[in-house]
Structure 1
């Protein structure tokens, strides 16, 4: 299977199943997008400029702040997010966190509660949220159910199956839990597509 074929297959999958959810207001050209999360946001496994926030900035022409911290749990993220929201006043929050909770066998109820508090924090600042589903530890790498529950409860755009599908492909990952340059680009393309479909870009 060639890299080109894998890339085309990945993009096709993203178009078919990568995102779902409500509409967004058009994003301002001079506003910031806050990409918040752990090492998958930071870009572990990619070269400089190959992380998904950098690629998303390239695709959209907008400022995307990389607020990823490797190894962070949702408990740590919850403690960190408030200051970032107040400091940067972003027009959109992209939330990708939970993987380290799963690796450490954290009670899923705790993970869900922490993510819910982050979402509520953003909503209190009138900041819309895009939620990216993270696969749980399992043989088949399927999204943890808590992400779809949160998206439904808070009426969020959810990018589902994308990260799990990318991590199933050796050509898209640098190790068992991190993407590589191609994988991060594919993730950024999925987010870009969700923004287009939601009316945030024109």
Structure 2
């Protein structure tokens, strides 16, 4: 289950180029795309229980919070919402890979919101791919979203992380 906002759903290219679709192609796994464009973390938290119940995933890829960061929402609320998502995912019995989003700065790396949660709660965190891709104009369709090459690079990195964790 790929859960997130427009970086998961896909914007700027057709859905067949989304990172969940590309991940399904390269891994042979069924990957449900549960991304909602424009969604804030509070809305994602409200939506997550039903998505977990209906999809019953073995593994959740959590890439959420970008709209909170872009819209200058409270980091405390973002961290609280992500922690609640983590708890729901863990209670569901699914494995979890969280992908880190950078702060709202061209030179930013993984936001401390994500690293603190990962460290404090033992969550597997991919720290660098989003920040790396966002800094490369050749990987983006606009200032925030990826193009085909960017989504493929994201899917390949997720695939690599899943293999590293022994989930593939």
Q: Where on the TM-score scale, by shorter chain, does this alignment land: which range?
A: over 0.9
Higher RCO (CA 8 Å, separation ≥ 6 residues): 1
- For the Cα contact (< 8 Å) 1:36–1:67, is it kept in 2? yes
Task: Find the aligned partners of 2:122 and 2:27 in 1 and give their Cα distance.
Answer: 24
Match of 1:113 in 2: 80
For the pair 1:42 / 2:9, whether they are aligned, the reply is yes
TM-score of the aligned structures, taking structure 1 as reference length: 0.81
- For the Cα contact (< 8 Å) 2:8–2:19, is it kept in 1? yes
Q: Which of 35, 41, 46 is the aligned partner of 1:68?
A: 35
- Give the CA deviation at 1:151: 1.0
- For the Cα contact (< 8 Å) 1:141–1:168, is it kept in 2? no
- For the Cα contact (< 8 Å) 1:134–1:143, is it kept in 2? yes
For the pair 1:78 / 2:45, whether they are aligned, the reply is yes
Matched ranges for 1:83-102 at <5 A: 83-102=50-69
- For the Cα contact (< 8 Å) 1:162–1:190, is it kept in 2? yes
CA RMSD of aligned residues (A): 0.9
Over 3 Å off, 4+ runs: none
Matched ranges for 1:1-202 at <5 A: 34-201=1-168
Higher Rg of the two aligned structures: 1
Q: Aligned residue pairs: how many?
A: 168
- Give the CA deviation at 1:200: 1.1
Which segments of 5 or more consecutive residues in structure 1 lack a partner in the other structure?
1-33
Which segments of 5 or more consecutive residues in structure 2 lack a partner in the other structure?
none
- For the Cα contact (< 8 Å) 2:106–2:135, is it kept in 1? no
- For the Cα contact (< 8 Å) 2:9–2:15, is it kept in 1? no
- Give the CA deviation at 1:139: 3.7
Q: Write out per-residue CA displacement over residues 120-148 of structure 1, whole angstroms, 9 at most, x where no aligned residue.
A: 00111111110000111124132211111
- For the Cα contact (< 8 Å) 2:2–2:20, is it kept in 1? yes
Task: Find the aligned partners of 2:86 and 2:111 in 1 and give their Cα distance.
Answer: 17
